[in-house]
Amino acid sequence: MPAFMSALAAPSLPVSLPFEAALAEMAAPLLLLDAGGTVLFTNARAAALLSCAEPVGLSLPVLLAQSGAAEPEGEPVLEAVRATRPARARLTLDGDRRVEAALAPLSAGGFALTFEDVTEQLRGAALARQEPLTGLCNRVGLHDRLHAALAEADRTGAPLAVLMLDLDRFKAVNDTLGHPVGDALLRKVAERLRKATRSGDVVARLGGDEFAILQAGAEQPQASEALARRLVDLVGRTYVVDGHMLNVGVSVGVAVAPVDGRGADDLLKHADLALYRAKAEGRGTYRFFEPAMNAQMQARRSLEIDLRRALALKQFDLAFQPQIQLETGAVTGFEALLRWNHPERGPVSPALFIPLAEEIGIIVGIGEWALRAACREAASWPQPASIAVNLSPVQFRGGKLVETVMNVLAQTGLDPARLELEITEGALLENTDSVLDVLNGLRALGVKISMDDFGTGYSSLSYLQKFPFDKIKIDQSFVRGMEGNAECGAIVRAIARLGASLGMRTTAEGVETPSQLDAIRAEGCTEVQGYLTGRPMPAAQAAALLSSSPVASPADAA
């Protein structure tokens, strides 16, 4: 290597032979440059990395250009050579190799330039931030990008928005058609999200059917509002996947920095709260964060904490509301109504706590308790009156309902024919077939099944055809509306006739005035339940009422 040796002969680089051998075999790619940036020495690793057989003698700019490093990337290194400074820069070489170059001026003059190949490392880091199913950013990636965007926004004062998205009805698709179809749907959703956003926006899948979008560099809140509206429209359009027509919707919650928070965690949390509100208010819509949501969520959380321990602390109770046979005026039975009496809150409205108990799933335990308490009470009555107990749609999901009812009947000794289980249309909305199986299983135990709140759902009528209910309970809104609204009267009449022709009893709910009572009698309902004919009452009072009045046995009423 004469050229090299002669260069070494210059007084500035006193390298002896063992050094040279060591450098040549060193694992790290290394170049030695003279003060003007011409290559004096290269080891084999560096030559291979730069795909250059003989770099010695080339000037650094020429060498970099030959190796594919683009102009602006290499500039900081060339600049540092001119200024005799150390420098670090990331370069992209031929074959898409990413290297980190470090230039160090040597005390004896000239430079050492070392390289580290970071291609795999960068690829790994990118993969670690990518969600494999859709190719979108994952939660870690979103956090990174959000932190960077917030730092940038802090400098420029520009606003940015975080949108949290949650698909509506996705679980039903997954449950009924299976994961492959669910996954294909998620990929199409991801594609629509990409399509709806601009190239600078970050779209992430956070897991399951949760997505998020980071929107920077746009005027807020106008841009996020426009985007949210487009998302609700585009994502909500029908999908065709594997020959299936699928409909899911999307709910969106939006938080805008800096007004709704300056930190990533606050923004994400607030967008989540807004999403929660969007879902609570009917889904398929978007909501912006409002400070009041924090307080509301705290109130909800504290109610949830109390509700979770209410069963163990024996704060639940049942009230019994009489059901009267219209023809004879006799008590045919009672509906058991759940009451929650909290020591500090006082009585909490079922309209408040039952939806919450359903949402967090503890309705299953509470419902079982109510069923057992109601059956035990009814078994102790002096007359064999019927006892109606409400079932939540959630109770149908666990696959244990029939077994539970069977156990309760066995434990309490109640005649199954006296038990009436009331379900609402909500129970039949999802997985209708499996719910019908459960209903048939219950029917096989000998219990009766009623359709509650009839007329308020979308397709109540079609359910009557799918299952032979023993009883239809006409929703109180129709009964209340009968005075002064001819249509309500017509609806009550139609349901009563329908019931009669299908062999189902009809109970009018919510009767409050004598004229309403006259009206529903005229329309042909068989039973009535309401404040006029009896308010919900404690167990002891219900038992006393039964001892003092004649009872139409459930068999007579049927």
Partner 1 sequence: MSQPALNQDSLNQDLRRLVYYSRNRVGGPAAMNETIRGILAASRTNNARVGVTGALMFNAGCFAQVLEGPGEAVETTFERIQQDERHGEVSLLAFEAVETRLFTEWSMAFVGASQADAALYGDMAGESGFDLSRMTGNNLCAVLHGLALEEEAAAA
Applying CB under 8 A, among 240, 312, 351, 486 the residue interacting with partner 1 is 240
Contacts of 57 (CB under 8 A, 6+ apart): 3, 38, 39
Find the shortest distance in angstroms from Cβ 233 to partner 1: 6
CB of 131 to partner 1, least distance (A): 20
How many CA atoms lie less than 13 Å away from 203 in the CB half-sphere? 17
Residue 237 or 535: the one with the smaller Cβ distance to partner 1 is 237
**Residues in CB range of 152: below 8 A, 6 or more apart:** 158, 216
6 makes contact with partner 1 (CB under 8 A): no
- How many Cα atoms occupy the beta-carbon half-sphere of 114 within 13 Å? 11
Task: For helices 363-379 and 350-359, give the axis angle rounded to 10 degrees.
Answer: 120
Nearer to partner 1, 188 or 376 (CB): 188
* Of the residues 123, 147, 179, 237, which one makes contact with partner 1 according to CB under 8 A: 237
Which of 112, 234, 319, 429 lies at the binding interface for partner 1 (CB under 8 A)?
Answer: 234
Amino acid at site 411: Q
- Min separation Cβ 250 and partner 1, Å: 14
Helix %, strand %, coil % of the chain (to 5):
50, 25, 30
Closest among 123, 76, 81, 89 to 105, alpha carbons compared: 81
Helices (H) and strands (E) in the chain, counts: 23, 21
Tell me whether strands 505-509 and 471-474 are parallel, antiparallel or unpaired: parallel
Q: Which stretch binds partner 1 (CB under 8 A): 71-79, 239-247, 376-384, 400-408?
A: 239-247
Q: Is 50 in contact with 93 (CB distance < 8 Å)? A: yes
Total of residues contacting partner 1 (CB under 8 A): 15
Q: Which stretch binds partner 1 (CB under 8 A): 240-248, 374-382, 409-417, 482-490?
A: 240-248
Based on the shown chain and the rule CB under 8 A, indicate whether residue 241 belongs to the binding site for partner 1.
yes
Tell me the C-alpha to C-alpha distance, in Å, between residue 551 and each of 153, 328, 331, 548: 75, 9, 5, 9
Q: What are phi and psi of 167, to 5 degrees?
A: -75, 140
157 burial type by CB count under 10 A (0-12 exposed, 13-18 middle, 19+ buried): exposed
Q: Is 404 within 8 Å of 447 (Cβ atoms)?
A: no
x/- map, 273-312, partner 1, by CB under 8 A: ----------------------------------------
Phi, psi of 456 (to 5 degrees): -95, -15
Q: Is 245 in the site for partner 1 (CB under 8 A)?
A: yes
Query: Up-side HSE of residue 219: CA atoms within 13 Å toward CB?
Result: 1
Q: Between 155 and 195, whose beta carbon lies closer to partner 1?
A: 195
Distance CA 171, CA 173 (A): 5
CB nearer to partner 1: give 226 or 490.
Answer: 226
- Looking at 129, 169, 188, 376, which residue binds partner 1 (CB under 8 A)? 188
183 binds partner 1 (CB under 8 A): no
> Stretches 234-242, 250-258, 489-497, 506-514: which one binds partner 1 (CB under 8 A)?
234-242
The residue within the footprint of partner 1, chosen from 129, 139, 169, 230 (CB under 8 A), is 230
243 in contact with partner 1 (CB under 8 A) = yes
Residue 376 CB, shortest distance to partner 1, in Å, is 52
Choices 17-25, 67-75, 231-239, 518-526; region in contact with partner 1 by CB under 8 A:
231-239
Label the pairing between strands 316-325 and 286-288: unpaired
Residue 6 or 238: the one with the smaller Cβ distance to partner 1 is 238
Give yes or no for residue 233 binding partner 1 (CB under 8 A): yes
Nearer to partner 1, 223 or 275 (CB): 223
Q: Which of 238, 349, 501, 548 binds partner 1 (CB under 8 A)?
A: 238
192 versus 277: smaller Cβ distance to partner 1: 192
Residues that bind partner 1 (CB under 8 A): 188, 191-192, 195, 230, 233-234, 237-243, 245
